[in-house]
C-alpha cells in the first residue's frame, strides 16, 4: 500500500502485513512502529515551523496537509 514517505515526501510503500515501510526514493526502510513515531515527530515539527512561517508563505503548496491549525493568535 502506498503511503507518504516521512523523510523525502515521495511515495513510500507499506507492506501488506504492516510490518515494514520502504521508500524507493530515499531508500528509507523502517518498521511501521518507527514510521508512526517518525510521522508523529515530523508533524509536531511542522506545527512548530508553521508557527514561524504563517503569513510569509501564504498560498504556498498547502494542499496535502489540511490539518494545520492556522489560528495561532
Q: Which is nearer to Zn ion, 2 or 73 (CB)?
A: 2
Alpha carbon distance, N-terminus to C-terminus of the chain: 38
Q: Work out whether 23 is an interface residue with Zn ion (CB under 5 A).
A: yes
Nearer to Zn ion by C-beta: 19 or 25?
25
Name which of residues 44 to 63 contact Zn ion (CB under 5 A).
none
Distance CA 25, CA 48 (A): 26
Specify whether the backbone of 59 is left (phi greater than 0), alpha (psi in -120 to 50) or beta: left
Chain Cα centroid distance, residue 57: 18
Residue 21 as a binder of Zn ion (CB under 5 A): the answer is: no
Minimum CB distance to Zn ion smaller for 7 or for 46: 7
Interacting residues with Zn ion (CB under 5 A): 5, 7-8, 10, 23, 25-26, 28
Amino acid at each position: 500500500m502506498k503511503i507518504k514517505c516521512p523523510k523525502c515526501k515521495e511515495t513510500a510503500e507499506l507492506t501488506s502485513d504492516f510490518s515494514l515501510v520502504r521508500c524507493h526514493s530515499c531508500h528509507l526502510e523502517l518498521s511501521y512502529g518507527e514510521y508512526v513515531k517518525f510521522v508523529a515527530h515530523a508533524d509536531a515539527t511542522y506545527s512548530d515551523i508553521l508557527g514561524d512561517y504563517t503569513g510569509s508563505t501564504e498560498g504556498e503548496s498547502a494542499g496535502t496537509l489540511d490539518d494545520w491549525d492556522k489560528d495561532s493568535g
